Structure 1
Amino acid sequence: MKISRLSIIIPAYNEAATIHLILNKIKAIELIDGIEKEVIIVNDCSKDNTTQAIASYREANPDLHIAYYEHEVNKGKGAALHTGIAKATGEYLIIQDADLEYDPSEYNDLLKPICSGFADVVYGSRFMGSNPHRILFFWHTIGNRWLTFFTNMFANLNLTDMETCYKLFNTKMVQGLQLREQRFGFEPEVTIKMARVPKIRIYEVGISYYGRTYDEGKKIGWKDGFRAIYCILKYGMLGRS
């Protein structure tokens, strides 16, 4: 399949220290088949200097196509993704966190099943392949695997990493979903609803993971895990739209 543009959606909250570094990595990537990059940053009412950091970067790098949006109040990662998805103009879009946990140099690995005509959706799995993975939290990993397991049950999938940041979607397909979750419940909601799209083709590829500790800025916690369980039941077992 010929793709002319990939929309890269970056939800940002208090990421002044790293946003320029991730943008540098995105800028350096040459996408396969000459695909153009559209970067969409949604600042979810950051309390640090994220706004100024992005403004400075855009001024210094006019050759990188960056569309910038702000929320007047903090709404959550899911809400920032809703905004970015609605604004995307590429045939496909990918989610990119503003920190340095995921490596944009692997975009082409995720694009290959799309460009070869096999996939509509590609998830980047931290639990597949031989790429480097930082070793961090035991209970966080166990929780991730259980959330993936329960999502698979209700979505009839066999994903290894539902909670991954790297989700590459057909833009029109994901824009056609009614997405409601404002925070980290976005992950199971979008997975379950996408799995119900008729004749959907979902693939996984192995990716690297350079995880952060909570001291380094990691934001997801145990409360988000319980919300994810609620969302799996809500959208999976109860079948709500």
Structure 2
Amino acid sequence: MKLTVVIPCFNELGSIEQIVKAVKASPIKDLEIIIVDDCSTDGTRSLLASAIEPQVDQVLYHKKNYGKGAALRSGIQAATGDIVIVQDADLEYDPQEYPLMLQPILDGKADVVFGSRFMGGRPHRVVYYWHMLGNKFLTTLSNMLTNINLTDMETCYKAFKREVIQAVKIEENRFGFEPEVTAKVAKMDCRIYEVGISYYGRTYKEGKKIGWKDGFRAIYCILKYNLFR
């Protein structure tokens, strides 16, 4: 079993080296690491080219800043592993938990696995109440239209059989990726599992990028990809 780790990256100079080291130190040894730089402007791009490219399988460079969804689209298309997992570059999610994410697929029970920050039992940094409430609202709205009972639709940690995610036409360029891909794998009748994960959330001062406009876009995407596709 080979795991492809797709790392979308935009202005992560302070964390990109750490996340690459953390991914390489994960319990999964057969790894393909693909980083997609979405036209960083803070020096991340130079660091990738000078120091990180030799450590990973591929670094893809966007000529324009399109967004996380666009970066994932590029990385997923390039993946060759049996399973594909999304890993943000911001150190909020722990690569040591890859085995938790992969086990339902390896057991032959799942096609897609969501890592839930809200299932309990694992460390969870206390950050923004309204973000948590917004996430739960978006998850509930998504569940009502997909008829699946997720606890954390907006999670970054999603693992897919490669043939499943490469069959999904990803249209969203920004953070709309999460509700879009959830709606589409639900419509494909994929076997979806959820496992509890740790979450080391960061603040806006520490570089968090998602904002209230992305929340409204998520509502639009939930309606669009569930009701009109």
Q: Structures share a fold, TM > 0.5? A: yes
Mapped pair 1:47 → 2:38? no
1:217-232 equivalences under 5 Å are 217-232=207-222
Q: CA deviation at 1:57?
A: 3.3
- Pairing partner for 1:9 from 6, 9, 24: 6
Q: CA deviation at 1:56?
A: 3.7
Count how many residue pairs are aligned between Structure 1 and Structure 2.
229
Q: Partner letter of residue 169 of structure 2?
A: Q
CA RMSD, aligned part only?
A: 1.1
**Equivalent residue of 2:97, what SS?**
helix
User: Conserved in 1, the CA contact under 8 Å of 2:17 and 2:52?
Assistant: no
- Pairing partner for 2:167 from 176, 192, 196: 176
- Pairing partner for 1:91 from 70, 82, 102: 82
User: Conserved in 1, the CA contact under 8 Å of 2:176 and 2:218?
Assistant: yes
Aligned-partner Cα distance in 1 for 2:68–2:111? 23
Aligned-partner Cα distance in 2 for 1:213–1:58? 26
User: Conserved in 2, the CA contact under 8 Å of 1:7 and 1:39?
Assistant: yes
User: Conserved in 1, the CA contact under 8 Å of 2:142 and 2:179?
Assistant: yes
Q: CA deviation at 1:171?
A: 1.0
1:177-196 equivalences under 5 Å are 177-196=168-187
User: What is the aligned-residue identity percentage?
Assistant: 58
**Equivalent residue of 1:146, what SS?**
helix
* Contiguous gaps of at least 5 residues in structure 1: none
When normalised by structure 1's length, the TM-score is 0.92
Q: CA deviation at 1:107?
A: 0.3
Q: Which runs of 4+ in 1 moved over 4 A?
A: none
User: Conserved in 2, the CA contact under 8 Å of 1:58 and 1:66?
Assistant: no
User: Conserved in 1, the CA contact under 8 Å of 2:84 and 2:161?
Assistant: yes
**Equivalent residue of 1:17, what SS?**
coil
